[in-house]
Structure 1
Amino acid sequence: MTPSRTAQALALLIPLALIGGALTSQYGFGLFPCEMCMWQRWPHYTAIVLAALSFVVAPARTPLVVLATLAIAVSGAIGAFHAGVEYDWWEGLTQCSTHFSGEGSALDRIMNAPVIRCDVAPWDLFGVSLAGWNAIFSLGGALVIAILLLKGRKT
């Protein structure tokens, strides 16, 4: 596989895997996202669409992969900012958000909804929060894709 094709595949697989992990943690393990968690998802959704289009629209393959790579990097940058908020390195832009679920009237659902704070990591692995892992994988992945694209351009 050429470096450009590998970059194209990674531009699709990285955001798919990260969104898959986010949705699994939300719906499988009850880790509801805060507002900044949701902000990190939108660039990944965009990257998935752009990378998928790159497999269909051959003349625009490289520009679409480049745009997908930028979207992945944007999600990583948001993740880095969010991780900094969780670790109290700086103050966030929002205080908290909530998720409405359950039965009953709208007022009951609002009153019983869990408060999902943006400045508290609900889960971590080796001291790194989900936002931190998104930053690591997204920024690292975007860098690898960019290097592969440059390598493919030279060949």
Structure 2
Amino acid sequence: MTSLHNAVDVVLRVRGISSEEAERIWQGSLDANGQLPLRRVAQGMANPCRHCLNLITPGASKLVLAHRPFTQLQPYAETGPIFLHTEPCQHYDQAQLPAWFAFLEPALIRGYDSDDWILYDTGQVVPGAALHNTCQQILRDPRVAYVHIRSKFNCFQCRVERASAG
């Protein structure tokens, strides 16, 4: 596609999981699999909290739980493991990806329509350094309501929308 519309930069809105969902977990609710989150010690530098999108400090306690980033069950409503800080943290809602996303090697990225269905032709495997531009490219497609970024292990990282999206 080479239209002028497609050449315009898309301003991103990068969001961690909602504060309501994180609060529910911190208050002892069950995860997407109906289980209590597990408390574990963060080892190494690959422990991103999916609420604040900061890395959990090695040696700190973290919660490990099943997460489904969709409001309703349907065929594309994937569930997978995520980490959260054990204590409340600041929700991430910014115009750029956290700097550490550049080290996701590789990252999975795909667009979804307003019915939460994967748009297969948007799916890509890219180096972390290409995520910002790839998000912009996918969000130029008017069929795409939002993008999910996942790790190479298919773990949900964050949701990315157009900045004008609610």
Shared fold per TM-score greater than 0.5: no
Larger Rg: 1
The structure, 1 or 2, with the larger RCO (C-alpha pairs under 8 Å, 6+ apart) is: 1
Give the alignment's TM-score, normalised by structure 1. Answer: 0.27
Say which structure is richer in helix.
Answer: 1
Greater strand share, 1 or 2? 2
